[in-house]
């Protein structure tokens, strides 16, 4: 049945992000070879800070309306809780994929489920949910247009070595009275 599950090309598509910190920046570095247009919304970022990854900073409405793949990379706080709700999902193209690897409550999950069921957007890639762990009866787990993975990108050998080196450095600073 592979004909039912074909992929979508990236060349010439628009990769957008909400949040252009370290993770957003790294995402654009990794995406560079794919020939995509890069846009981002981040009210705290300057255009000069993103020139190395060829990102154009835009307003929220533009990143919602123009992204073919919209990544969420902002922190969760009172200003970003349910930042993506029905209103924002309604501004996206029917062909957009929403990717949330930040924190679950940034996206209003009930609104996302509705948008996916009614075809407002094409699909979602999630490694976070509003309630974690995700409940077994969550409709997102049954949808063909959703990919859900564990929130575990950082669980690599490099991450563990970096953490241990950082811990050892801090222990050394304590011993030296710093």
Known catalytic membership, residue 132: yes
CB neighbours (10 Å) of residue 98? Answer: 25
Query: Of the listed 26, 94, 132, 166, which one is catalytic?
Result: 132
**List of E strands, 19-144:** 37-41, 55-57, 69-72, 97-100, 123-126
142 CB contacts (<8 Å, ≥6 apart)? none
Distance of CA 153 to the CA centre of its chain: 12
Report angle CA 10, 82, 67 to the nearest 5 degrees.
Answer: 20
Report angle CA 23, 13, 48 to the nearest 5 degrees.
Answer: 45
Dihedral angle sign, alpha carbons of residues 76, 78, 84, 86: positive
Q: Can you spell out the DSSP letters for 122-151?
A: SEEEES--SSSSPPTT-GGGG-TTEEE--S
Query: Of the listed 25, 38, 66, 103, which one is catalytic?
Result: 103
Query: Of the listed 151, 158, 166, 176, which one is catalytic?
Result: 151
Known catalytic membership, residue 176: no
- Give the whole-angstrom CA distance, residue 162 versus residue 38: 29
Q: Catalytic site residues? A: 103, 132, 151
């Amino acid at each position: 049945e592979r004909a039912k599950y074909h992929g979508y090309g990236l060349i010439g598509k628009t990769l957008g992000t909400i949040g252009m910190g370290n993770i957003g920046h790294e995402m654009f570095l990794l995406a560079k070879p794919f020939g995509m247009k890069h846009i981002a919304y981040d009210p705290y970022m300057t255009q000069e800070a993103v020139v190395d990854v060829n990102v154009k900073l835009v307003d929220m409405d533009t990143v919602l309306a123009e992204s073919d793949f919209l990544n969420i990379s902002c922190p969760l706080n009172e200003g970003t809780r349910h930042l993506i709700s029905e209103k924002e999902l309604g501004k996206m193209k029917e062909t957009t994929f929403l990717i949330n690897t930040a924190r679950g409550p940034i996206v209003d999950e009930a609104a996302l489920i509705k948008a996916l069921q009614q075809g407002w957007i094409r699909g979602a890639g999630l490694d976070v949910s509003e309630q974690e762990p995700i409940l077994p009866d969550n409709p997102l787990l049954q949808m063909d247009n959703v990919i859900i993975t564990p929130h575990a990108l950082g669980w690599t050998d490099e991450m563990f070595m970096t953490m241990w080196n950082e811990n050892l450095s801090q222990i050394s600073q304590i011993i030296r009275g710093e």
